[in-house]
Amino acid sequence: MNQEVVVTGLGAVTSVGIGKDEFWKNILTGKSGISEVTQFDTSKFKRHNAGEIKNFNTSDFIPENIAKFMGRASQFAIAATKSALEDSKLPIANIENEKLAVIIGTTMAEANVIDVSGRMFIKDEWDSITKQLLMNVFSPSIARNIGYFLKTKGENLLIPNACAAGNFALGYGFDLIRKGEIDFAIVGGADSLSRVAFQGFQRLYAMSPDVCSPFDKDRHGMLLGEGAGILILESLERAKQRNASIYAKVLEYGLSCDAYNMTIPSRIGIKKSMTKAIKNANISLCDIDYISAHGTGTVQNDKEESGAINEIFDDRKVAVSSIKSMLGHCMGAASALESIACCLAIKEDIVPPTINLKIPDPECDIDCVPNNARKIKVKTALNNGFAFGGNNCCVVLGKPCYS
Amino acid sequence: MGKRVVITGIGVVSPIGIGKNEFWKNLFAGQSGFRDITLFDTKDLKVKIAGEITNFNPKAILGEKGLLDLDRATLLLLSATKLALEDAGLKIDESNTYRTGVSVGTTFGSLHSISKFDRESLTEGPRYVNPIIFPNTVANSPASRISIKFQIKGFNSTISTGMSAALDAIDYANDFICLDKADTIVAGAVEDLSMQTFLGFYKLNYLSGLKNTSAAPLSCPFDNRRNGIIFSEGATTLILQDEEYAKKTGTVVYAEILGIGSCFDPAKFYKYNPKGYGMKKAMKKALKAAGLFPKDIDCVFANANSTKDADYIETKVIKDLFDEYAYKIHVIAVKSALGESFSVSGGFATIAALGALTKGILPPTINYKEKDKNCDLEYMPNKARNKEVSKIMINSFGPNGVCTSLIIGRYKS
């Protein structure tokens, strides 16, 4: 009981790079993955930009005869899982074992499949919808497809907890290992761009016409992104036994629910999940060296999040950055990718920047590591994730030696 | 560690009744909940019946206010939750809200809304869609509405695993209580009957009455005539509590959660593994978690949903696992009366099992007429029976490979 849990593998599929090395290199140099959307026609929309992945070649990761049964989000997720497993050097015998669980978070699941079926539906072409397409509308498809592809045999869950889903998945994987129920977990999140999400976020929030500039005084709103982030979790005991290289230790996580509004964040709820995470991790406030912000770039979120951070940290200026400034908001993948960034920040003692910052906003009076990465000692990092429905999940990661 | 988890509240909205008493009464009486679909036009369809809840009036349960923007799945779930909270006599306030969480199993709960939203966008143009309905399109929207409506602030999670989602949400909740992250969890499940979901099953050829259109659709698990499912809708909510906490509040305890096992069977792509590897593993894991042997189980509330392969494989696996004892236990398929309600099916089965535990009556597998020589266990055909039972296994196995088994037992303090 009460196993310690560590991260031993990272896999990222993003608009700034496929694979954790390219992703991290570009994140640190402040490269933006934002471009004009090409997957669907945006001419009727007022906005046209997103963090779309342009150079993803499915067949690099998945044989074509299997890939055709999967939506884009599943393909991202499998690619990220494969790179994470390679990175962790976990033997096949451990993967095809009931002591390994697959827990994946998402917001829209296979929404680009819904785009296709929706169009057919309206044009009364329902008869031409194939079985394959329908199978993919079924949202458990992402976790299931990973399980099927890798022949995993343990628990297999899809947690559609929207924009903090990656953190929720990581948290539950952590719980199951800690309890001793499993030894290994493939956790993370995935989402693909879709017309329906593009439409929805545009109607719901301010969507920026050009770039995403969190914490900037003139920020114009969020941008969507897409991708997948996968982490391999295992018990410290197992990792030591097999001499695995360890990125970070999962110290704990904290959940809260605003119970306030479906789309407007609440400072009380945000603070609750952050303080709960720190308290559960049994560390003190001064131990936190870096915060990976939810930082969507909307006026409301950034103001409330900055306020919450300042109230909790009593105006001590912790380094806070939002990699959404480069990737856009990758929905279910967002917090998983941010957890990956935290692991790498801890491993290499450097924190990524918030790009596009021109004029600091007095209402966001935090140190947002503007425009340039910064070398600082990162013993522990806090990763914020806030979702639709006021569902908040903050994860605390620390150096492997941290106890 | 070593925490015990108990069930202290039951809420159900189903095609055979709203509220636990009506649900149990009709289930024991062998009533089924299938009727002509009224929610959408079935003119061009070969199958026109489903387990639709025709007498569902959300305002009667939830009051008049604040229901306008909610979709059917959300209304069903909120209603079941209200009933469960009342049943448990649970008041959520500042003193307990941060130690109370929500865990909901649903898979297609948002499909209707997402289709509606998409349709508006495509036909009316992007500028005319109603932004209020976009939050409904996200799968965790029904669960989030529970938190907003009942002011539950501990946490809020949704699990989408297909057919086993209700049990997986109970598993998630159970883990949270065992890890001392909450005292009380509202564990719900919901699936609504919408044209989109129905057409999905229709196109996938899952529905009874599609292959042989001369016969009316029939839900007859384990029976030789079985030829597919009847789709149905509903919502269930259970209040799960830490046993010590429940004791302190003095609430009535219906049963204890003894063990849950869940695993994935990757053998086939969207088909049950004929060898039943996953089903067997899930049942074994549940027994192990409960510290029980097969002979300790009094009856099994089966996953059987009236499809050829699911019912047969489950029978085979039960014989494998329970050995000669398999013929001595009762294997009951409540889907004969309730249909295949997908994510909520495990919730219906669990509430049926709670009825058996507390009332000492085993509900029947109805519509059972013609024996299938490969399915030869004791299925409790057509008539309920008085029998005291103390430990029940509940199975939920999805063709997507996720298999979960839950064992509940009579509570002794």
Q: Report d(CA A260, CA A269) in Å as an integer.
A: 9
Q: Are residues B269 and B241 in the same domain?
A: no
Q: Report d(CA B27, CA B236) in Å as an integer.
A: 15
pLDDT score recorded for residue A129 = 72
B 149-178 residues with CB < 8 A to A: 150-162, 168, 172, 175-176, 178
Identify the domain boundary among B223, B249, B275: B249
Q: Name the minimum distance, in Å, from the CA of B96 to any CA of chain A.
A: 13
Identify the domain boundary among B249, B276, B305: B249
Q: Report d(CA B136, CA B196) in Å as an integer.
A: 15
Residue B230 lies in a domain: yes
| Predicted confidence (pLDDT) per residue in B264-322, tens digit | 999 887 789 999 999 999 999 999 999 999 999 999 999 999 999 999 999 999 999 99
A80-104: b (≥16 Cβ within 10 Å) or e: bbbbbbebbebeeebbebbbbbbbb
| Tally of domains within chain B | 2
Active-site residue flag, A393: no
> B132: phi > 0 → left, psi -120 to 50 → alpha, else beta; which?
alpha
Q: Classify residue A11 as exposed, middle or buried by CB count within 10 Å of its CB (0-12, 13-18, 19+).
A: buried
Q: Report d(CA A164, CA B256) in Å as an integer.
A: 32
CA distances, A323 to each of A267, A357, B121 (Å)? 21, 12, 30
pLDDT score recorded for residue A138 = 58
Evaluate whether ipTM surpasses 0.90.
yes
Q: Are residues B241 and B335 in the same domain?
A: no
| Predicted confidence (pLDDT) per residue in A228-239, tens digit | 999 999 999 999
Q: Classify residue B55 as exposed, middle or buried by CB count within 10 Å of its CB (0-12, 13-18, 19+).
A: exposed
Q: Which amino acid is at A392?
A: N
A 179-218 residues with CB < 8 A to B: 179, 181, 195-196, 199-204
pLDDT score recorded for residue B109 = 77
Q: Report d(CA A51, CA A46) in Å as an integer.
A: 16
Interacting residues of B208 by C-beta distance below 8 A, sequence separation 6+: B47, B217, B218, B219, B226, B227, B228, B229, B230, B306
Q: Are residues B242 and B263 in the same domain?
A: no
Residue B254 lies in a domain: no
A 117-156 residues with CB < 8 A to B: 118-119, 121-122, 126, 129, 131, 134-135, 137-141, 143-144, 147-148, 150-156
Question: Among B368, B367, B283, B365, which Cα is nearest to B323's?
Answer: B283
| Predicted confidence (pLDDT) per residue in B44-101, tens digit | 899 999 999 999 999 999 999 989 889 999 999 999 999 999 999 999 999 999 999 9
Q: Report d(CA A379, CA A399) in Å as an integer.
A: 5
CA distances, A355 to each of A31, A177, A195, A322, B148 (Å)? 8, 36, 26, 8, 35
CA distances, A390 to each of A142, A269, A308, B138, B247 (Å)? 24, 7, 15, 13, 31
pLDDT score recorded for residue A123 = 65
The vertex-A66 CA angle with A87 and A199, nearest 5°, equals 85
B 173-202 residues with CB < 8 A to A: 175-176, 178-179, 181, 196, 199-200
Residue B373 lies in a domain: yes
Q: Please tell me if residue B138 touches chain A, with a CB cutoff of 8 Å.
A: yes
Q: What is the dihedral of CA A148, A152, A155, A158, to 10 degrees?
A: -40
pLDDT score recorded for residue A304 = 96
Give the mutation candidate from B92, B127, B157, B405 for the A interface (greatest A CB count, under 10 A): B157
All structural domains of chain A: 5-241 (3.40.47.10), 251-398 (3.40.47.10)
Which residues in chain A are closer than 8 Å to B97, comparing Cβ atoms?
259
Q: Report d(CA A325, CA A292) in Å as an integer.
A: 12
Q: Are residues B215 and B280 in the same domain?
A: no
Q: What is the CATH number of the domain that holds B289?
A: 3.40.47.10
Of A142-146, A153-157, B4-8, B110-114, the least confident: B110-114
Q: Which residues of chain A register pLDDT less than 50?
A: none
Q: What is the dihedral of CA B164, B167, B173, B174, to 10 degrees?
A: -130
Catalytic residue among A212, A220, A257, A294: A294
CB-based contact B97:B151 (threshold 8 Å): yes
Active-site residue flag, A48: no
C-alpha atoms less than 13 angstroms from C-alpha of A92 in its C-beta half-sphere: 3
Q: Are residues B268 and B300 in the same domain?
A: yes
8 Å CB contact of B144 and A263: no
Interacting residues of B93 by C-beta distance below 8 A, sequence separation 6+: none
The vertex-B204 CA angle with B200 and B207, nearest 5°, equals 85
| Predicted confidence (pLDDT) per residue in B341-351, tens digit | 999 999 999 99
Question: What is the pLDDT confidence band of residue B2, given thresholds at 50, 70 and 90?
Answer: confident
- Going B134 to B135 to B138 to B139, the CA torsion angle's sign is negative
Q: Are residues B205 and B236 in the same domain?
A: yes
C-alpha atoms less than 13 angstroms from C-alpha of A388 in its C-beta half-sphere: 29
Q: Which residue has the tokens 């991202």?
A: A76
Q: What is the mean pLDDT of residues B371-388?
A: 97
Q: Report d(CA B231, CA B209) in Å as an integer.
A: 12
Q: Are residues B266 and B239 in the same domain?
A: no
Q: Are residues B166 and B232 in the same domain?
A: yes
What phi, psi does B54 have (nearest 5°)? -80, -25
Q: Which residues make beta-bridge pairs with B361?
A: B386
Q: Report d(CA A348, CA A340) in Å as an integer.
A: 12
| Predicted confidence (pLDDT) per residue in B381-396, tens digit | 999 999 999 999 999 9
Q: Are residues B149 and B170 in the same domain?
A: yes
A116 to chain B: closest CA residue: B118
pLDDT score recorded for residue A69 = 81
Q: Out of A1, A98, A134, whose CB is closest to B263?
A: A98
Flag whether pLDDT at B231 surpasses 60. yes
Question: What is the pLDDT confidence band of residue B204, given thresholds at 50, 70 and 90?
Answer: confident
Question: What is the pLDDT confidence band of residue B118, given thresholds at 50, 70 and 90?
Answer: confident
- The parent domain of residue B216 ranges over 5-249
Q: Please tell me if residue B262 touches chain A, with a CB cutoff of 8 Å.
A: yes
pLDDT score recorded for residue A403 = 60
Identify the domain boundary among B249, B276, B297: B249
CB-based contact A232:A88 (threshold 8 Å): yes
pLDDT score recorded for residue A1 = 59
Average pLDDT score, chain B: 94
Q: Report d(CA A371, CA A321) in Å as an integer.
A: 10
Q: How is residue B173 written in tokens?
A: 């909740």
CB-based contact B244:B365 (threshold 8 Å): no
Q: Report d(CA B365, CA B375) in Å as an integer.
A: 13
Q: Are residues B276 and B386 in the same domain?
A: yes
pLDDT score recorded for residue B160 = 93
Q: Which residue has the tokens 């799968």?
A: B139
pLDDT score recorded for residue A376 = 98
pLDDT score recorded for residue A124 = 64
pLDDT score recorded for residue A126 = 65
8 Å CB contact of B161 and A135: no
